[in-house]
Amino acid sequence: MGKRITVGIFILSLLAPIILTDPYHRHLMVLFCIFAVLAISLDITMGYLGELPLGHAAFFGLGAYASALLALKLNLSFWLALPLSGIFTGMIGILIGIPSFRLKGPYFAIVTLGFAQIVHLIVNNWVSFTRGPMGITKIPAPRITIPYIIDITFKSEFSYYYICLAMLIFSIYITKRLINCKTGRAILAIRENENLALSIGVQSYFYKLIAFGLGSALAGMAGSFYAHYFRVISPDLVGVYYLIGALIMVMVGGIGSISGVILGAFIFTILPETLRVLESVRLIVFAVVLLISITFLPAGVIRGIESLYFKLASIKKL
Amino acid sequence: MSHTPPILETNKITRYFGGLKALNNVTFSLFPGEILSVIGPNGAGKTTLLNVLTGFLKPQQGSIYYRQEEITELKPYSIASKGLLRTFQQNSLFVNLTVFQNVLIGCHCKMNKNSFFNSFLNGNSFRKEESRFQFEAFAILKKLDMEDQATSLAANLPYGDQRKLGIAIALAANPEILMLDEPVCGMNPDESKRMMNTINELRESGITILLVEHDMKVVMGISDRIVVLNQGEKIAEGTPQEISKNTVVVSVYLGDSSFVKS
């Protein structure tokens, strides 16, 4: 997409909360970063491995709960709870992947959805541990304290935005490094032609688990950021809204494209806010958006923008 | 050639599909450096044999030995990493990737230092390894006269070039044995001739070739030995001369005179 555009967008993202000082706008920026990480995490399995994990966003909610419980029950700081919840959801992802990847396509999709429902049931009903429908409150905000030198608590939208942005940049970096190495190429190969990949020595089952585990770990860390920002979480986080939301981000934005899914996260963040009046029918609106997008821009909005750009560029040449 | 040990041996391979015996007690050997063709009418079991040899199907009876080591129960990716590579007749490419990416993926087994962890650190050794393999992939494309198509999508290649790309991918994996599944299928005589030359060059570079083919001109022109299958059974084995005079074989290919070496 051009190095200059990338640098421009990076500078813009650094300046955004300085340009837009309204707390509400900054709040949306935080949400956007968290959802962008979630979208990237889903795209690893959907875009690069080529499977449809309907239940993927359950790892998002699971990570939120893991991080909250680590912070509250073991008194861990956010900076420890974050990677630990990532490792936790990554391992759960691999455990769920082991039976799920015996299947493909729609069967794989439904099995992952089933696991997501199981996670939701556990979170909702294990009241003694997760407080069930009452949710978890008073989740501590991230804090850095070095006596006499620093004492920052990341409570405001402004400060939280920058740690979320760091996470987003980290996620983009990881994804790019994945694609440009042996592991990422193997994953793409499995998507394109699993038998051919097997015939040249790719251990497909192993790489499917790696892709899925990495995606679930990233989703879990996005969930951790969510938990320590809102500092209140409920079983809804493991619910249908986020399952569908994640899918919308990837499919509407552009499957298999980092800028595409980030654009999808942007749309998903902005959409409910611009359609405040339709709050009660949000899921229906999502369904309509999804249908329109699949019908007219099946490769995602980003590809529509790219082809428009190329068309304009070629018209300019005439 | 009969004094050197075979590089590949099959012993009484039998494979059923329900009530149908696709392969029945098939036994033969492949010797290093030779080009062995497996021929037979449609339904003779040639592709099934290829699938069994490369681990995509397990035989119900029989065994396969690669360099005197049994590989019958191994998975396809293990067999490939040992140096036994194959091409596919259909669905043979990584369709939505470029020609270059296709070949680069073929190098998978040889890449030991290009792991995700190393990529994450993006150190000098990783970058050196990456350029090394990119260079190797490009060299393979050059060998097959495909370097100009490096950035084309595999899906957009003309048919003959798609078959070449399939071979390029297998070549990237450093084969000792290369099993080709009907490499000249659908090619015109010009393309077939060029493919024959390519296969000869591969043999000269030290690769043992097992060729499954229908095109008798190619088979007769290039093979050191031929194995003939019919309805799952081996009915003949020998040099092209011997096979062309074999009455059983001729009757199976009833009336097909293109079969006799001109």
pLDDT at A151 over 90: no
Q: Which two tokens stand for residue A195?
A: 């038998």
| pTM for this predicted structure | 0.92
Asked if B212 and B181 touch (Cβ cutoff 8 Å), the reply is yes
Mean pLDDT of chain A: 93
Tell me if A199 and B85 make a contact (CB, 8 A cut-off). Answer: yes
Give the rounded percent of residues in chain B with a pLDDT score beyond 70.
96
- Binned at pLDDT 50, 70 and 90, residue B234 comes out as very high
Please give the average per-residue pLDDT across B113-118, as a whole number: 82
pLDDT in tens, B5-24: 999 999 999 999 988 899 99
A178 touches chain B (CB under 8 A): yes
- Mutate: best of B103, B116, B180, partner A, most A CBs <10 A: B116
Quick one: pLDDT at residue A27?
94
SS3 A70: helix
Q: Which sequence spans correspond to the domains of chain A?
A: 3-270
pLDDT of residue B135: 95
Residue B2 has pLDDT above 70, yes or no: no
Residues of chain B with CATH 3.40.50.300: 8-91+176-259
> Alpha-carbon distance A258 to A171, whole Å?
10
- The answer to whether residue B98 scores a pLDDT higher than 60 is yes
Task: State the DSSP string of B77-140.
Answer: HHHHHTTEEE--SSS-S-TTSBHHHHHHHHGGGG-SS--HHHHHHT-HHHHHHHHHHHHHHHHH
A186 vs B contacts (CB less than 8 Å): 105, 108
Tokens of A176: 């790019």
Across the interface, of A192, A193, A200, the residue whose CB is closest to B108 is A200
SS3 at position A63: helix
Q: Residue A202 and residue B91: Cβ atoms within 8 Å?
A: no
Which CATH superfamily groups domain B8-91+176-259?
A: P-loop containing nucleotide triphosphate hydrolases (3.40.50.300)
Res A312: pLDDT: 87
Token pair recorded at residue B231:
């309805």
**β-strand pairing of B208-212 with B84-86:** unpaired
**Sign of the CA dihedral A199, A202, A205, A208?**
negative
Tens of pLDDT along A97-111?
999 999 999 999 999
| A172 contacts chain B (CB < 8 A) | no
pLDDT tens digits along A5-33: 889 999 999 999 899 889 999 999 999 99
To test the contact with chain A by mutation, choose from B71, B84, B108 the residue with the greatest count of A C-beta atoms within 10 A, namely B108
At residue B258, does pLDDT exceed 90? no
Alpha carbon distance B259, A149 (integer Å) = 89
Helices (H), chain B: 46-53, 76-81, 99-106, 116-121, 124-143, 159-172, 189-204, 216-222, 240-245, 247-252
User: Which pLDDT does position A254 carry in this prediction?
Assistant: 93
CB B261 within 8 A of CB B241: yes
Q: Specify the pLDDT at position A12.
A: 92
Tally of CB atoms within 10 A around A159: 17
Instruction: Work out the percent of chain B whose per-residue pLDDT is above 90.
Output: 74
Whether residue B256 has pLDDT greater than 60: no
Mean per-residue pLDDT for B30-44?
92
Count CA within 13 A, CB hemisphere, residue B262.
Answer: 5
Q: Give B118's contacts in chain A (Cβ within 8 Å).
A: 181
What is the pLDDT, as a whole number, of residue A309? 85
Cα torsion at B217, B218, B221, B224 (round to 10°)?
-130
pLDDT of residue B262: 45
**The one-letter amino acid at A265:** A
Strand B84-86 and strand B35-39: the pairing is unpaired
- pLDDT at res. A1: 54
pLDDT value of residue A289: 85
Q: Which CATH architecture has domain A3-270?
A: Orthogonal Bundle (1.10)
CB of A303 less than 8 A from some CB of B: no
How far does A205 lie from chain B, in Å, by closest CA? 11
Question: Residue B62 and residue B74: Cα distance in Å, rounded?
Answer: 14
Which tens digits make up the pLDDT trace of A195-239? Answer: 999 999 999 999 999 999 999 999 999 999 999 999 999 999 999
